[in-house]
Amino acid sequence: MNFTATPIPGAWFVELDRKADERGYFARSWCRDEFAARGLPDVMVQASISHNTARGTLRGMHFQRAPSREAKLVRCQAGRVVDVIVDLRPESPAFCRHHAVELSAASGAALFIPPGVAHGFQTLEPDCDVYYMMSDVYQPELAGGVRHDDPAFGIRWPLPVAVIAPRDAAFPDFVPPRAH
């Protein structure tokens, strides 16, 4: 795997290192040792798949509140999506900044998202499957979110939103925590 740091500290774009021949290719998509060598979680305890029927579907922006230490490794296994992260860690030099990447089944690339960073995506094609690996078990009572179109973040989505969950559309405006 090839790891490229993103502008969001602790977030990584992870590309496959494909070994190709006449049959196709072989590539490692997860390696505990390679993640541990970068100080990233080396144990994933839960995995989920999000199937999205319509082009323009938007999911997010979601995160888990403390004390959860949930990190995610997200990969598109069918179709193409624009995947966006927003740094919600007040101590981070990238606080309130966002970063977007395209993930596709064709590339096999993934995005590693550290704890304290919100995540969402928009489908660029119909019938997209997004696969998540998480370092902590999902806890509904710790689930949080920020709105995909909150002016505090200035995210420009590539398509008009065709489908969004009412909960995701109704997240309140983001209010940064006050300094002590």
Looking at residues 85-92, what average pLDDT do you find?
A: 97
Active site residue 132: yes
Residue 107 tokens read as: 């590339």
Query: Of 62, 99, 119, 148, which residue is the catalytic one?
Result: 62
The CA distances from residue 109 to 70, 136, 165, in Å, are 20, 22, 26
Confidence band, pLDDT 50/70/90 cuts, at residue 29: very high
Is pTM beyond 0.75? Reply is: yes
Specify the CATH superfamily of domain 2-15+44-169: Jelly Rolls (2.60.120.10)
Q: Tell me the percentage of the chain whose pLDDT exceeds 70.
A: 98
Which DSSP string do the residues of 14-46 spell out, in sequence order? Answer: EE---EEETTEEE-----HHHHHTTT------E
- How would you class 28 by CB atoms within 10 Å of its CB: exposed for 0-12, middle for 13-18, buried for 19 or more? exposed
62 noted as active-site residue: yes
Model confidence at 179, in pLDDT bands (50, 70, 90)? Answer: low
Q: Where are the domains of the chain?
A: 2-15+44-169
pLDDT in tens, 122-151: 999 999 999 999 999 999 999 999 999 999
Q: Note the pLDDT of residue 177.
A: 78
Given 99, 132, 138, 148, the catalytic residue: 132
